Amino acid sequence: MDSENLMNVLSACRLGAVIVLKDETIYKINDAGVVLLKAMPGDVFPKAARPLLNPAHRDQLVCMAFERYITACDGPKPDDLPKDSYWLVFRDGTLDYERIMMRNIANHLKEGVVMCDAGGRLNFFNASAVTLDNLSGRDVVGKKIDEVYQMDDNKNFMLVKTMKTKKPILKEHHRYTTQFGHVVNTMADAYPVVYNKQVIGAFNLVEDWSKVSNLNKKIIDLQEQLIEKKHKSSPGKAQKKPLGAYYTFDDIIYSSEAMHQVVEKCRRVAKTDASVMIYGETGTGKELVAQSLHNASLRSGGPFLAINCAALPENLFESLLFGSVKGAYTGAENRPGLFEQANHGSLLLDEINSMDILLQAKLLRVLQDGVIRRVGSETETRVDVRVITCINIPPTQAIAEGKLRQDLFYRLGVINIELPPLRDRGDDIALLTQHFIMAFNQKNHREVCGVDEGTDKIFNSYSWPGNVRELQHAVEQALILLPEDQKIITADYVSPHILRSLKKPPAPPSETLRKEEKSLPDKLKHFERDELIRVLSENNGNITKSARVLNMSRQNLQYRIKRYHIDVAPLKKRENTP
């Protein structure tokens, strides 16, 4: 099409089009272009708009005057374009400017902002709302309000109510549950959006009321400590109430059914005094769950102490746990151990399988009798401590390898919590990624919006052996390397080891499992794999039925199938065989 006809067509679509000669004079311009550029043929192309002639800057918003912006857009080229000339198609970008500004303002507000259209379909969540509701915007945008939220107090949804009455609703206390089971306690304002007497939508301004409640609780705790200190007969011996558990269940980021079941189980368990053993691979968030258990329990007002059993030498571990008296050994002093310090609270023993097997016997006695004896002392002291343990290998494996006493396991594992690896929490990857991006933005004053489609596919294809912690580090690395002017994480900034692992084919079972099975652990793994195949075969590859027979969770069985490279597909085919 020649330039004159093409320009007329573009003008009818409200798109400006201009041909600029090499000396930067305007050769031709359509009517829409005249309105947007305020220029005519023969004029010098406006200096403010010159960046749009550079292909590298075509995505920019160019300010032509106060509150008047233009931006380049794609369009066909005319057949009669003069040699060495520039062809530019552009449009009004003022609304783009306003939308970008408003979204940035909304994303920097501490209050959550949730918007819906007149039909009650959710169309915007700012960064604070994403964090508060534990939702990924792309999973819920376009859904009806009642598909995503369920009110816990039999109230009407504020957004629906404010659109119906056309009046704002201020300072209303709401408690609701999201479609993924996340319970949220808020104080909110709701406003209708009215244009030409027509309601076109509504929005909420939401504050996290649980933070206010927690702050009040801390203030009360501090007041109690001051009162206790005042009434001490010996001020020099007054002790400050220890604080150590900072996380609650509301800090756990998830939307997957697997994590929903874990959190709901933990909420029920937290109300009891039962000992809890948490099993999960490295980086799955075991201590986060342990702290949440403490803070949701009746012991939340007491101390929470944590110790990594793999981080201390064996010769110091006993005195650290049970305390010591002066002269018990060279350099020993009168010191209370962790059990005494955690009295009326909780004690977390991380990597319990790294504790010396002889010391485990002494720990068992403390758990059975509720008394401890300091190293070098003949006096016993009664303690009231809830013990929470973490282990990064299956407890049955730890017992088989002689790393955990079976009788201690029965005492510590009254309740067993199994945290699913991130590869079994596919629904959570995007949500966690966005959470880490927002946290990094706030800490480093960046404005990164998210990841592109390619990076999203990479993250969802990768197995994440380091689980949530590895994802956090991968996002942080990408954000550190990302140029200041780039708002989206692309595959160029994904860690090379992640990209390499996706290209590397998995090793066949013969190479992975049949290597010189000389040690007991190798033989146990081989036996376990054969047993899994036998049970799966008997149940025609049905994972749920097989997990029930093996007395393990479905997620645990899926993890072992992947670990041992078991191909379930041939077993499933047997169901259709006559």
pLDDT of 237 strictly over 60: no
Q: How far apart are CA 433 and CA 415, in angstroms?
A: 31
Burial per residue of 431-462, b for 16 or more beta-carbon CB atoms within 10 angstroms, e otherwise: bbbbbbbbbbbeeeeeebbbbeeebbebbeeb
pLDDT of 230 strictly over 50: no
Lowest mean pLDDT segment, chosen from 278-282, 361-365, 379-383, 519-523: 519-523
Q: How would residue 520 be classed by pLDDT, with cut points 50, 70 and 90?
A: low
Residue whose entry in the numeric block shows the structure tokens 């078991």: 566
As a whole number, mean pLDDT of residues 333-339 equals: 84
Provide the mean pLDDT of the chain.
Answer: 84
pLDDT of 532 strictly over 50: yes
Residue whose entry in the numeric block shows the structure tokens 């009215």: 194
Phi, psi of 522 (to 5 degrees): -65, -45
Q: According to the model, what pLDDT value does residue 236 have? A: 44
As a whole number, mean pLDDT of residues 405-418 equals: 92
Q: According to the model, what pLDDT value does residue 218 have? A: 58
Lowest mean pLDDT segment, chosen from 196-205, 207-216, 531-540: 207-216
Q: What is the pLDDT of residues 47-101, one digit of tens each?
A: 999 999 888 887 889 998 888 899 999 888 999 899 889 999 999 999 999 989 9
As a whole number, mean pLDDT of residues 419-446 equals: 90
Q: How would residue 515 be classed by pLDDT, with cut points 50, 70 and 90?
A: very low
Written in H, E and C, the secondary structure of 390-435 is: EECCCHHHHHHCCCCCHHHHHHHCCEEEECCCHHHCHHHHHHHHHH
Question: Could you tell me which residue, 210 or 161, shows the higher pLDDT?
Answer: 161
- Give the amino acid at 286: K
Q: How would residue 328 be classed by pLDDT, with cut points 50, 70 and 90?
A: low
Percentage of the chain beyond pLDDT 90 is 41
pLDDT of 516 strictly over 50: no
Q: What is the pLDDT of residues 470-506, one digit of tens each?
A: 999 999 999 999 998 888 999 999 999 999 888 655 4
Lowest mean pLDDT segment, chosen from 208-217, 268-277, 347-356, 419-428: 208-217
Contacts 24+ apart (CB under 8 A), 264-270: 264/181, 265/417, 266/292, 266/293, 266/296, 266/417, 267/296, 269/293, 269/415, 269/417, 270/294, 270/296, 270/297
Q: According to the model, what pLDDT value does residue 107 have? A: 86
Query: What is the CA angle 123-129-135, rounded to 5?
Result: 75
CA distances from 339 to 196, 316, 356, 384, 409 (A): 69, 15, 18, 8, 19
Q: How far apart are CA 298 and CA 146, in angstroms?
A: 34
Written in H, E and C, the secondary structure of 238-295 is: CCCCCCCCCCCHHHCCCCCHHHHHHHHHHHHHHCCCCCEEEECCCCCCHHHHHHHHHH
Burial class of residue 362 in the structure, from the number of CB atoms within 10 Å of its CB (0-12 exposed, 13-18 middle, 19+ buried): middle
Q: How would residue 369 be classed by pLDDT, with cut points 50, 70 and 90?
A: confident
CA distances from 526 to 349, 515, 522, 563 (A): 31, 10, 6, 12
Q: How would residue 378 be classed by pLDDT, with cut points 50, 70 and 90?
A: confident
Lowest mean pLDDT segment, chosen from 204-213, 221-230, 282-291, 525-534: 221-230
pLDDT of 211 strictly over 70: no
Q: According to the model, what pLDDT value does residue 337 have? A: 85
pLDDT of 404 strictly over 80: yes
Q: According to the model, what pLDDT value does residue 311 have? A: 74
Q: According to the model, what pLDDT value does residue 213 have? A: 52
Q: How far apart are CA 226 and CA 315, in angstroms?
A: 38
Residue whose entry in the numeric block shows the structure tokens 């939702």: 135
Lowest mean pLDDT segment, chosen from 140-154, 405-419, 563-577: 563-577
Q: According to the model, what pLDDT value does residue 558 have? A: 78
The residues that bridge with 514 in the sheet, in sequence order, are none
Q: According to the model, what pLDDT value does residue 539 have? A: 83
With both helix axes pointing from N to C terminus, report the angle between 467-481 and 453-461 in degrees, rounded to the nearest 10.
150
Integer-rounded Cα radius of gyration of the chain:
32
Q: What is the pLDDT of residues 454-469, one digit of tens each?
A: 999 999 999 999 999 9
Lowest mean pLDDT segment, chosen from 171-185, 187-201, 371-385: 171-185
At 241, list the tokens: 């109430």
Q: How would residue 198 be classed by pLDDT, with cut points 50, 70 and 90?
A: very high
Question: Could you tell me which residue, 575 or 175, shows the higher pLDDT?
Answer: 175
pLDDT of 379 strictly over 90: no
pLDDT of 160 strictly over 80: yes
- Give the amino acid at 529: R
Q: According to the model, what pLDDT value does residue 197 have? A: 87
pLDDT of 212 strictly over 80: no
Q: According to the model, what pLDDT value does residue 574 have? A: 44
As a whole number, mean pLDDT of residues 354-378 equals: 87
Lowest mean pLDDT segment, chosen from 218-222, 330-334, 476-480, 490-494: 218-222
Q: How would residue 234 be classed by pLDDT, with cut points 50, 70 and 90?
A: very low
